[in-house]
């Protein structure tokens, strides 16, 4: 039984990426990479149209009969056929029927671009929207550098695809300015120590990620130390409470003991008085010692 991999399989390098009508920008870039990996001439046929061999006749350029083409000319002309095969093989049925009547690969490509990217007016409106989004780009609260890089790269790549040009310094300054207050010491350090005109955005994000890892390590360490201090403080407080409770119980027992001693002492005094006075009166009483005043006896 084959073990399940912790990641998915990549696309085949022998087949063009499939386009189902969604995320045209992604498919467009991948298709260009795939086509250029086969032959630059194929991409040239998509971008600039098919090669048509011509000859001069009385100063007029006319199409050269196919039977007179050289092997090199036939090879260049074949690039358009290969390009059409690649494009149609990369489309689902709905997208295929959009381009099935196109004669050249360039016509197919242009049809897909207009359908999914719009005409020039639509592209300009989309470009202005992306430029505004780029200008307002800020790091979100609690966002990681990896997430910032993902959002930033997505906007920049879309702007580049519709003709916007950036230099390295502009992108680097934008990245540093979008970071929130806790990052300002690092921003100042990078601005003073690095040449932003030659530093790539990938290298800049790499340095920011290193700093983020260090900050996370310090935060974890501080939280652990705080937890240990809290546990120690609670243990000491519990011990003090226990000692106080023991002392209070001791004082209570001592007070009760004193009261009980007084009680016993008081009872002993009463018993001794009874013995001293009560017994004497009983023993000393004798009727003969008294005289009756009525009869004189």
pLDDT digit string (tens) for the chain, length 297 residues: 445 555 555 677 788 999 998 888 889 989 999 999 999 999 999 999 998 888 777 777 788 887 888 888 888 889 999 999 999 999 999 999 999 999 999 999 999 988 888 777 777 888 888 889 999 999 998 899 999 999 999 999 888 877 788 989 999 999 999 999 889 988 888 888 888 888 899 999 999 999 999 888 888 888 888 888 888 777 777 666 666 665 666 677 777 777 767 777 777 666 565 555 555 444 454 555 555 555 655
The pLDDT value given to residue 192: 84
- Please report the pLDDT score of residue 163 as a whole number: 78
Q: Please tell me the predicted confidence (pLDDT) of residue 12.
A: 76
Residue pair 83/92 in contact (Cβ under 8 Å)? The answer is no
What pLDDT score was predicted for residue 2?
Answer: 47
Tokens of 158: 């879309």
Between CA 159 and CA 153 the distance in angstroms is 10
The 10 Å Cβ neighbour count of residue 175 is: 23
The answer to whether residues 228 and 220 touch, using CB atoms and an 8 Å cutoff, is no
Residue tagged 């290298």 (tokens): 203
> Which residues on neighbouring strands pair with residue 55, listed in sequence order?
62
């Amino acid at each position: 039984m084959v073990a399940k991999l912790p990641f998915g399989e990549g696309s085949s390098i022998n087949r063009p990426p499939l386009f189902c009508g969604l995320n045209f920008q992604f498919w467009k870039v991948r298709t260009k990479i795939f086509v250029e990996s086969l032959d630059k001439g194929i991409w040239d046929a998509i971008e600039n149209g098919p090669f048509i061999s011509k000859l001069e006749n009385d100063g007029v350029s006319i199409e050269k009969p196919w039977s007179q083409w050289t092997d090199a000319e036939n090879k260049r002309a074949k690039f358009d056929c290969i390009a059409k095969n690649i494009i149609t093989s990369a489309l689902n049925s709905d997208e295929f029927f959009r381009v099935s009547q196109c004669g050249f690969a360039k016509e197919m490509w242009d049809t897909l671009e207009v359908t999914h990217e719009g005409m020039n007016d639509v592209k300009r409106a989309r470009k202005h929207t992306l430029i505004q989004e780029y200008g307002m780009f800020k790091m979100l609260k609690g966002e990681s550098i990896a997430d910032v890089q993902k959002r930033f790269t997505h906007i920049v790549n879309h702007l580049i695809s519709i003709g916007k040009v950036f230099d390295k310094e502009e992108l680097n300054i934008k990245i540093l300015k979008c970071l929130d207050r806790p990052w300002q010491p690092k921003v100042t350090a990078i601005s003073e120590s690095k040449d932003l005109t030659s530093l790539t955005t990938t290298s800049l994000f790499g340095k920011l990620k290193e700093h983020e890892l260090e900050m996370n390590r310090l935060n974890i360490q501080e939280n652990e130390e705080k937890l240990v201090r809290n546990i120690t403080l609670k243990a000491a407080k519990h011990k003090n409470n226990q000692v106080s409770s023991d002392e209070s119980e001791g004082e209570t027992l001592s007070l009760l003991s004193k009261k009980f001693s007084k009680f016993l002492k008081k009872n002993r005094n009463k018993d001794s008085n009874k013995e001293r006075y009560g017994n004497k009166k009983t023993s000393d009483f004798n009727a003969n010692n008294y005289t009756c005043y009525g009869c004189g006896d």
